[in-house]
Amino acid sequence: MPAFPAVPATPALLVDRDVLDRNIARMADAARTRGVSLRPHAKTHKCVEIARRQIAAGAVGLTVATVSEAEVFADAGFRDLFVAYPLWTDAARGARLRALAAEVRLTVGVDSVEGARALAEHARPGLTVLVEVDSGHHRTGVAPERTGSVAVAAASVGLEVRGVFTFPGHSYGPGQPAVAATDEAAALSRAVAALEATGHDADVISGGSTPTAHLDVPAATELRPGVYVFGDAQQLELGTIDEDAIALTALATVVSARDDTVVLDAGSKVLGADRAPWATGYGRILGAPDARIVALSEHHATVQWPADADRPTLGTRIRVIPNHVCSAVNLADDLTVVAGDTVVDRWPVAARGCNT
């Protein structure tokens, strides 16, 4: 395993540029083949250089989760942004949304009558919204049949309702992607019918997650996957990608060892503490599929090394695949870009910590 001597200190997040570019091209091709627009979620990478590559490959715009993420990408010159979140708008957030809408083609999510009213009151009438639909994740969004009543309320306060969106987050489980994609298609179809019954066209029918992005969702006109640019251990363990699609790893050093375990200097403050109930551990080791990260603290990952493999010695540099790459990236100030074993660039995580 290459030690990346040009990286002055571990832990550090490495991005393999060639794998990244291949992931971006593949998703863009898949969207084109299916005839849907691709609007990647920038919360995964928070990185201007990566967003530029996505747009260059054909993405129609970016998805973001927060107004402050939208502000970062607007400042960097991106001109079509969708805040896929049911924002609560007060006077301060309203002023920020007005400033954004003056600069970019802005769309925001809404999932309640009250949320639509607050948006129109504090941001401005005329703002474009999509109604969020719950397709089975049961987080935010309204039941498909309620889409119409939210749309009517939004239109009555002067918002421009352009369609619906959903996030089939229940796709994140073994055997779940196909189920979630079926749910998503059904929910979007019913939501569109409810919207049209109130006299609104659904120009945008937006869905998608990385686990379901390769599945057909006939109702959708737009896909919003995020994780696909980097991949992560969750996607590996869900079986949606192979290790050759892993573009981001945390370079870590073995600092301690005993028996069949080693301790790495990348802990939850580098990898994130995310661990789904079905995960095999707190991430995976690149090139050592049978190693297991059995414990994680802030600056320690305890790795059980397989008995039939040589345990790495102290000082060895190891690449860790985070469970949830969005969390890992949001902990880093910059990404070290490599091509093969060579460091070729450093990209700032421009929207790191942009939660408001």
Instruction: List residues near a second copy by CB under 8 A.
Output: 8-12, 43, 65-66, 68, 85-88, 90, 92-93, 111-112, 114-115, 118, 139-141, 169, 253-257, 263, 265-266, 268-270, 272-275, 295, 297-300, 302, 313-315, 324, 326-327, 330-333, 353, 355-356
Burial status of residue 98 (CB atoms within 10 A of its CB: 0-12, 13-18, 19 or more): middle
Cβ distance to a second copy smaller for residue 58 or 348:
348
Q: Which is nearer to a second copy, 21 or 334 (CB)?
A: 334
CA distance 132 to 164: 6
Q: How far is the CB of 154 from a second copy (least distance, A)?
A: 14
Q: What is the identity of the amino acid at 1? A: M
Q: Is 224 exposed, middle or buried (0-12, 13-18, 19+ CB in 10 A)?
A: buried
Task: Please give the Cα distance from 147 to 343 (Å, whole number).
Answer: 49
State CA 285 to chain mean position distance.
21
Backbone φ and ψ of 43, nearest 5°: -65, -25
Rounded CA-CA distance 13/27 in Å is: 23
Between 66 and 128, name the residue whose CB sits nearer to a second copy.
Answer: 66
In angstroms, how far is CA 316 from the centroid of its own chain?
A: 31
Q: Closest distance between a second copy and the C-beta of residue 302, in Å?
A: 6
Residue 113's SS3 state is helix
What is the closest distance, in whole angstroms, from the C-beta atom of residue 296 to a second copy in the complex?
Answer: 9
Nearer to a second copy by Cβ, of 9 and 307: the residue is 9
Mapping DSSP to helix (H, G, I), strand (E, B) and coil, where does residue 144 land? helix
Nearest approach, Cβ of residue 322 and a second copy (Å)? 11
Rounded to a whole number of angstroms, the minimum distance from the CB of residue 9 to a second copy is 4
Pairing of strands 284-285, 317-321: antiparallel
Closest approach of a second copy to the CB of residue 178, in Å: 21
Of 217, 220, 206, the closest CA to residue 179 belongs to: 217
* Residue nearer to a second copy on the CB measure, 177 or 267: 267
Residue with Cβ nearer a second copy (19 or 230): 230
Sequence-ordered list of residues with C-beta below 8 angstroms from that of 209, at least 6 positions apart, any chain: 167, 168, 169, 171, 172, 180, 224, 225, 226
Query: What's the closest the beta carbon of residue 21 comes to a second copy, in angstroms?
Result: 25
Residues 227 and 106: their CA atoms lie apart, in Å, by 23
Output the smallest distance, CB 111 to a second copy, in A. 5
Q: Between 25 and 294, whose beta carbon lies closer to a second copy? A: 294
For a second copy, the closer of residues 11 and 136 by Cβ is: 11
